[in-house]
Amino acid sequence: SSKIKVGIVGYGNLGRGVVSAIGQNPDMELVGIFTRRDPAAFASEQGLSFFRISDAESFQGKIDVMILCGGSATDLPEQGPEFAKLFNTVDSFDTHAKIPEYFERVNDAAVTAGTIAVISTGWDPGLFSINRLMAESILSEGTDYTFWGKGVSQGHSDAIRRVAGVKGGVQYTVPSEEVINRIRGGETPELSTRDKHIRDCYVVAEEGADQDKIRQEIVSMPNYFSDYDTTVTFISEEELRRDHSEMPHGGFVIRSGVTGKNTRQIIEYSLKLESNPEFTASVLTAYARAAHRLAGEGAKGAKTVFDIAPGYLSPKSPEQLRKELL
Ligand code: NDP
């Protein structure tokens, strides 16, 4: 068929999201999922083909784009350059400070192999990055703000769970509504970390544990909570399961600038996501289409969202896009 043949590397939250996103895009088909775990463990997953990650190489020529769904901390630094040697790839590497170095490593692999590797796409980095760039380029005199949430932060949730006496817990990053409204109203405040976000923790304590001590340890934890206004609410295991098992997220990119004689101009982009991984997976899938198109034109090397024209994301032809969406 003429469909774009897609492979998935890594079957976590994002990997599952990509399966469902491919199902919503009739111009794509899923060839297989490659995992470091025993593929037999996924025998009950109807209609999906699982393979050992070490067998991926034999799929060269049978897969147009590999979507890399590993974690940014330890998986992608290895898998990004490795897979760029074999396939066109797309990933969501999100350790902002390390993106330049990661780009170089993946670019070397992709240029040598003649593949395209779209790195660090998703929403931040990704859609938020595009919006920061556009806003800054258009309103050259201005102030930028990025707020995250309301959403679950995996790192902060893990930090709570390491506190003695804590059985389970989840942390929501919540942007300050008051501050956002001031910016929307035309103010350009200088904001400290504490001003921008609050951190709401929902904690299940072990039986007999000292709740005040747990609360104190959480709110004073350096790097994670001490620079923020943090609330700690104790809940039951049942409530944690019932009310806090989703992975919502989102946020705002705002630039407040001036043109002419102090004419205020405000650009705002926002996302409100019930599922962070399902949404991120949908972004990756659209960029897989772009990677396939670019590869077809003979392009090679690592690319970020800044390098890819928006029309490449769409299954529609340029003529159709000009007619319908311009
Ligand atoms: P997961 O932890 O769910 O999955 C990461 C990897 O861990 C998988 O590829 C899988 O590899 C392995 N794994 C998953 N579940 C299990 C399990 N039960 N037991 C053992 N191994 C498992 O991470 P996410 O999918 O939630 O996120 C991946 C990355 O996406 C994040 O690290 C983050 O950096 C990035 N991200 C980027 C965003 C952006 O906007 N740019 C937004 C959201 C996320 P294998 O199958 O090989 O075992």
35 lines ligand 1 (CB under 6 A): yes
3-state secondary structure 271-309: EEECCHHHHHHHHHHHHHHHHHHHHHCCCCEEECHHHCC
What is the CA(223)–ligand 1 centre distance, in A? 23
79 lines ligand 1 (CB under 6 A): no
What is the CA(13)–ligand 1 centre distance, in A? 6
Q: Assess whether pLDDT exceeds 80 at residue 1.
A: no
* Percentage of the chain exceeding pLDDT 90: 98
What's the whole-number mean pLDDT along residues 168-178?
96
pTM for the structure as a whole: 0.95
Distance (Å, rounded) from C-alpha 173 to C-alpha 175?
7
Nearest atom, ligand 1, residue 247 CA: 26
Q: Record the tokens describing residue 125, joined without a space.
A: 């980095």
Question: Alpha carbon of 15 to those of 107, 236, 303: distances in Å?
Answer: 23, 30, 21
> What mean pLDDT value characterizes the chain?
97
For residues 122 and 91, is the Cβ–Cβ distance under 8 A? Answer: no
What's the whole-number mean pLDDT along residues 74-94?
98
Pair type for strands 142-148 and 116-118: unpaired
What is the enclosing helix (H) or strand (E) of 230? Answer: strand 229-234
pLDDT band at 102 (very low <50, low <70, confident <90, very high): very high
Amino acid, res. 48: L
Distance (Å, rounded) from C-alpha 89 to C-alpha 85?
9
Q: What is the pLDDT of residues 44-60, one digit of tens each?
A: 999 999 999 999 999 99
Q: Assess whether pLDDT exceeds 90 at residue 125.
A: yes
Nearest atom, ligand 1, residue 75 CA: 6
Beta strand spans in 24-152 (E): 28-35, 50-52, 65-68, 88-90, 116-118, 142-148, 151-152
What is the CA(269)–ligand 1 centre distance, in A? 26
- Pocket test of ligand 1: the residue of 49, 83, 94, 146 to mutate, having most ligand atoms within 8 Å of its CB, is 94
What's the whole-number mean pLDDT along residues 241-269?
97
Q: What is the pLDDT of residues 177-227, one digit of tens each?
A: 999 999 999 999 999 989 999 999 999 999 999 999 999 999 999 989 999
DSSP-based three-state secondary structure for 196? helix
Q: Record the tokens describing residue 314, joined without a space.
A: 């769409």
Q: Record the tokens describing residue 241, joined without a space.
A: 């399961």
Q: Assess whether pLDDT exceeds 70 at residue 32.
A: yes
pLDDT at position 266, please?
Answer: 98
Q: Record the tokens describing residue 187, joined without a space.
A: 């103010």
Beta pairing partners, 172: 152, 200
What is the CA(289)–ligand 1 centre distance, in A? 21
What is the CA(73)–ligand 1 centre distance, in A? 10
How many CA within 13 A on the CB side of residue 139? 19
What is the CA(14)–ligand 1 centre distance, in A? 6
ipTM for the predicted complex comes to 0.98
For residues 252 and 147, is the Cβ–Cβ distance under 8 A? Answer: yes
Q: Record the tokens describing residue 218, joined without a space.
A: 């959480």
Distance (Å, rounded) from C-alpha 63 to C-alpha 61?
6
If you search the block for the tokens 């001590």, which residue do you land on? 213
What is the CA(308)–ligand 1 centre distance, in A? 25
282 lines ligand 1 (CB under 6 A): no
Beta pairing partners, 90: 67, 118
Distance (Å, rounded) from C-alpha 148 to C-alpha 155?
14
pLDDT band at 154 (very low <50, low <70, confident <90, very high): confident
What's the whole-number mean pLDDT along residues 270-296?
98
75 lines ligand 1 (CB under 6 A): yes
Distance (Å, rounded) from C-alpha 258 to C-alpha 190?
17
What is the CA(71)–ligand 1 centre distance, in A? 4
What's the whole-number mean pLDDT along residues 116-122?
98
What order do you get walking across the sheet with 116-118 strand by strand? 50-52, 28-35, 4-9, 65-68, 88-90, 116-118, 301-303
71 lines ligand 1 (CB under 6 A): yes
- Pocket test of ligand 1: the residue of 42, 90, 92, 121 to mutate, having most ligand atoms within 8 Å of its CB, is 92
